[in-house]
A = this chain, B = another copy of it.
Amino acid sequence: MKKITIYDVAREAGVSLATVSRVINGSSVVREKTKQKVLKVIEDLDFKPNQIARGLATSKTTTIAIIFPQSLFAHVKDMIGGIGDAGRHLDYNITIYTTDDIGDDDTVGDVLEKVVKTRADGVILFNNDQIDQEIELVRKYKIPAVVIGACVSDELIGSIYIDAKQVAFQIIDSYLKKGKSDIVFVSPKQNLVRTNDLIAGIKEAYAQHQQTFSDEQIIHTSSHYEKCYPQLLEYFRSHHHEVVFSSYDKEGVAVINAASDNNIKIPDDMEVISMMDTSYSLMSRPTLTSIHLPIYDMGALAVRLLTKILNDEEIETKEVCVNTIIMKRESTK
């Protein structure tokens, strides 16, 4: 069974190629009657225009690539909903590329090379510890891009981010005002939110109160609960703080569980607050106070912004800052 092409449609409808091309692309110059005739034949023959051929002819693939390291997947997954929906509505295909941060080969470079070969129209990147390298490559190949989680922009690059520094500042400032300065910050290596920005915000809050936040107050941990929990269980055997601020719910829950298992009462003995507001925070006991990010929207916004860049549409700002809101639950007073 041969695939039917625009030729078949043209022949069957008794018109030229160009006319068929016009109707499938919704050109307005074609006479209504001709259009109906062609449409009928398309329907009868169940003709599906070949995107590949169109891509070759137009140098556009209507494809957006998203690139992320496996370890960031927990964050990316929730965005895929927004990305997928926006892609579907705007008629873009979404191709995913995972960079394997375990292997030692140059996956970032390899992946971007692949993106170039497939001629994706644009790419969505996520903040991670290789983001600078990714941005550099994207610039080199002149691929339009939107990065989620960091604030960058130029001719071909836009971003969707949250003001992490500000968020951290507010949280910490509010505790310092209450006289609580025995605070530790727990963070995994990979995060959607820039850890450094968070730390900068924390430090600024301390500075504001004539105190200093030392690097000893930072606990580096794994984003795998299996590793994170035992580490914290050991930690809380001999430590105890007024407040723990975690940059992701999973670690937040690990803190709650590890502390509870060491008989530290939450929130009475210690308060825990984290970020992302995933379902982990609802499932934990006590439930976890968490800073909500509009994850789904960030994905959808990224696609929208990228398509604007691709189509040279009017753009208000290429650096879109989204708002956060703190979801107060049982782990804080």
Q: Which residue of B lies closest to A250 (CB)?
A: B279
> For residue A27, which residues in chain B have a CB less than 8 angstroms away from its CB?
none
| Interface core residue of A55, A114, A283 (most chain B CB under 10 Å) | A283
- B95 in contact with A80 (CB, 8 Å): no
> For residue A63, which residues in chain B have a CB less than 8 angstroms away from its CB?
95
Known contacts A84-B98, A88-B98, A88-B100; A52/B118 CB under 8 A: yes
| A43 interface residue (CB < 8 Å to B) | no
- B98 in contact with A85 (CB, 8 Å): yes
Alpha-carbon separation in the docked complex, A97 to B86 (Å): 11
Interface of A, helix, strand, loop or mixed by DSSP: helix
- A253 in contact with B283 (CB, 8 Å): yes
Of residues 67 to 125 in A, which have CB atoms within 8 Å of B's CB atoms?
A: 70, 73, 77, 80-81, 84-85, 88, 93-98, 100, 107, 111, 113-114, 116-119
Of residues 43 to 67 in A, which have CB atoms within 8 Å of B's CB atoms?
A: 48-53, 55-56, 61, 63
- A117 in contact with B285 (CB, 8 Å): no
Scoring A residues 269 to 296 as 1 if CB is less than 8 Å from chain B, else 0, what string do you get? Answer: 0000000000110111100000000000
- B52 in contact with A56 (CB, 8 Å): yes
Q: What is the size, in residues, of chain A's interface with B at 8 Å between Cβ atoms?
A: 49
Question: 5 closest Cβ contacts across the A-B interface?
Answer: A84-B98, A77-B77, A52-B55, A51-B118, A225-B279
Q: Chain B nearest CB: distance from A124 CB in Å?
A: 12
Partner of A96, one of B94, B100, B107: B94
Q: Which residue of B lies closest to A81 (CB)?
A: B70
Q: Which residue of B lies closest to A93 (CB)?
A: B95
Known contacts A95-B95, A96-B96; A49/B81 CB under 8 A: no
Alpha-carbon separation in the docked complex, A253 to B280 (Å): 10
Partner of A229, one of B85, B98, B250, B282: B282
| A190 interface residue (CB < 8 Å to B) | no
- A48 in contact with B98 (CB, 8 Å): no
Q: Chain B nearest CB: distance from A189 CB in Å?
A: 17
Of residues 143 to 160 in A, which have CB atoms within 8 Å of B's CB atoms?
A: none
Of residues 223 to 244 in A, which have CB atoms within 8 Å of B's CB atoms?
A: 225-226, 229
> For residue A283, which residues in chain B have a CB less than 8 angstroms away from its CB?
225, 250, 253-254, 257, 280, 283-284
| A1 interface residue (CB < 8 Å to B) | yes
| A308 interface residue (CB < 8 Å to B) | no
In the complex, 25 of the A-B residue pairs with CB atoms within 8 angstroms, ordered by the A residue number, are: A48-B113, A48-B116, A49-B117, A50-B119, A51-B117, A63-B95, A70-B84, A70-B85, A80-B96, A80-B98, A81-B98, A84-B97, A84-B98, A88-B107, A88-B111, A94-B95, A94-B97, A95-B95, A95-B96, A225-B279, A225-B282, A250-B279, A253-B283, A260-B285, A280-B283
